[in-house]
């Protein structure tokens, strides 16, 4: 549960974060104090020992307070989920930092040439949310031999592994110039001929190194659900601001009683649509989680339901904002206003490829 004092801090500094292009120091301090960048980190490494059902609901609340903060917390803490698969000695070293924060990319952006001592990594990865304050970066690489040729697995496919890199081992490439989620600072990073030891690689959902429940939850659905709740939180924020904006204009006697009634009907319809799709989403997710805990696995039907409901939640979140936007006046189109920032954040989040198609 997001505390009122935390909501007040977020509200006070969200606009400043956008001006800076990175989370304001006060918001970073709040995230460190609340351990938001370590939501998935097991207690043995100093994490809060939360489980995915709790995390999803908290991420939705943070996104409802500010989209950039919610998105950064979600992406950075989501990368911190890899704690469950890391070499234990490496994990102890990484999480000894009280301000540890993971950033990274799900794309295969580089190569890792294997030798007897470890790997040599080269590549560039885009859209690493939280890059400007991250202490650890994750990167997916094609594994190559010492001749630079990709190694193949038993199925004849290129071997791909994930790697852990420290902030001093990467170079940030400034280029996050998009109109929304500005304060996430989702810049690219590059690595050139970086030698890393063998224990810097890991594979998700395999060789789980901790006994905390949930590290065998499928990564695809984990990613879909965490992104979807961000859209839901931003949409909830937008609906509240749209209501306030229209009421302010109504107070200036701009609309007839019939027009006011029409808007109230539209707001009610959109609110009900968001509420319904959100309830369906959590019902599908909670069922999948219950199956995992009780049976040690999740049925394909349940996983498909999670994926479908995640996409529907993201789509409806954007749709209700678009349907109400015309009733919010020019203030909603003014880039310095809160309602405009929320609209831009929501539409930028909607571009994530995982949730594009229903």
Tens digit of each residue's pLDDT (9 = 90 or more) over 85-126: 999 999 999 999 999 999 999 899 999 999 989 999 999 999
Instruction: Profile the chain (358 residues) by mean pLDDT over runs of 10 residues.
Output: 95 98 98 97 92 98 98 95 93 95 95 94 98 97 93 92 97 97 98 97 87 92 98 98 92 86 97 98 98 97 98 98 96 96 98 93
- In terms of Cα–Cα distance, which of 203, 214, 212, 219 is closest to 306? 219
What is residue 207's predicted lDDT score, i.e. its pLDDT?
83
Positions of E strands within the chain: 102-115, 118-128, 136-144, 160-166, 171-173, 187-197, 201-202
Please give the Cα distance from 102 to 91 (Å, whole number): 12
Query: Helices then strands (H, E): number in the chain?
Result: 9, 7
Residue 86 DSSP one-character state: S
Look at residues 155, 160, 164 and name the one whose alpha carbon lies nearest to residue 143. Answer: 160
**314/235 Cα distance (integer angstroms):** 9
> Do 137 and 103 contact (CB within 8 A), yes or no?
yes
Cβ-based neighbours of 265, under 8 Å, separated by 6 or more: none
Q: What's the farthest any 2 CA atoms get from each other in the chain?
A: 78
* 87 touches 199 (CB < 8 A): yes
**Is beta strand 201-202 parallel, antiparallel or unpaired with respect to 118-128?**
unpaired
Task: For 38-85, give the DSSP string.
Answer: GTT--GGGT-----HHHHHHHHHHHHHH-HHHHHHHHHHHHHHGGGGG
Q: Rounded to the nearest 10 degrees, what angle do helices 52-65 and 257-295 cross at?
A: 160
DSSP letter assigned to residue 130: T
SS3 state at 352: coil
pLDDT of residue 205: 78
| Complete domains list, the chain, with CATH | 219-355 (1.20.140.10)
Q: pTM of the full predicted structure?
A: 0.96
Q: Which pLDDT does position 74 carry in this prediction?
A: 98
Cα(198)–Cα(219) distance, integer angstroms:
23
| Distance from the Cα of residue 134 to its chain's centroid | 14
The SS3 of residue 224 is: helix
User: What pLDDT, on the 0 to 100 scale, is given for residue 203?
Assistant: 87
Look up residue 152 and give its DSSP letter: B
Cα–chain-centroid distance for residue 83?
A: 16
């Amino acid at each position: 549960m997001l505390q009122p004092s935390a909501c007040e801090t977020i509200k006070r500094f969200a606009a400043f974060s956008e001006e800076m292009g990175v989370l304001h120091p006060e918001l970073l301090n709040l995230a460190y104090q609340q351990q938001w960048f370590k939501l998935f980190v097991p207690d043995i490494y100093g994490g809060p020992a939360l489980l995915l059902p709790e995390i999803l609901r908290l991420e939705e609340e943070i996104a409802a307070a500010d989209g950039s903060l919610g998105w950064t917390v979600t992406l950075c803490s989501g990368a911190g989920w890899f704690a469950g698969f890391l070499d234990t000695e490496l994990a102890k070293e990484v999480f000894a930092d009280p301000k540890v924060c993971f950033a990274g990319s799900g794309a295969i952006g580089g190569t890792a040439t294997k030798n007897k001592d470890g790997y040599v990594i080269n590549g560039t990865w885009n859209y690493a949310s939280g890059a400007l304050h991250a202490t650890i970066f994750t990167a997916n690489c094609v594994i190559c031999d010492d001749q630079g040729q990709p190694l193949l697995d038993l199925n004849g496919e290129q071997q791909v592994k994930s790697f852990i890199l420290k902030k001093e081992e990467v170079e940030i490439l400034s280029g996050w110039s998009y109109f929304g989620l500005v304060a996430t600072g989702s810049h690219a990073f590059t690595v050139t001929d970086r030698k890393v030891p063998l224990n810097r690689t890991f594979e998700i959902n395999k060789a789980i190194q901790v006994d905390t429940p949930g590290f065998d939850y499928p990564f695809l659905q984990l990613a879909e659900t965490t992104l979807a709740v961000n859209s839901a939180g931003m949409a909830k924020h937008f609906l509240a601001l749209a209501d306030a904006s229209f009421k302010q204009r109504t107070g200036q006697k701009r609309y007839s009683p019939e027009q006011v009634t029409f808007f109230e009907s539209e707001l009610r319809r959109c609110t009900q649509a968001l509420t319904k799709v959100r309830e369906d989403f959590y019902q599908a997710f909670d069922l999948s989680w219950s199956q995992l805990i009780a049976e040690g696995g999740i049925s394909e039907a349940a996983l498909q339901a999670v994926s479908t409901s995640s996409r529907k939640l993201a789509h409806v979140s954007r749709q209700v904002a678009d349907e109400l936007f015309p009733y919010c006046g020019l203030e909603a189109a003014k880039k310095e206003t809160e309602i405009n920032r929320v609209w831009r954040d929501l539409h930028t989040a909607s571009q994530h490829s995982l949730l594009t198609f229903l």
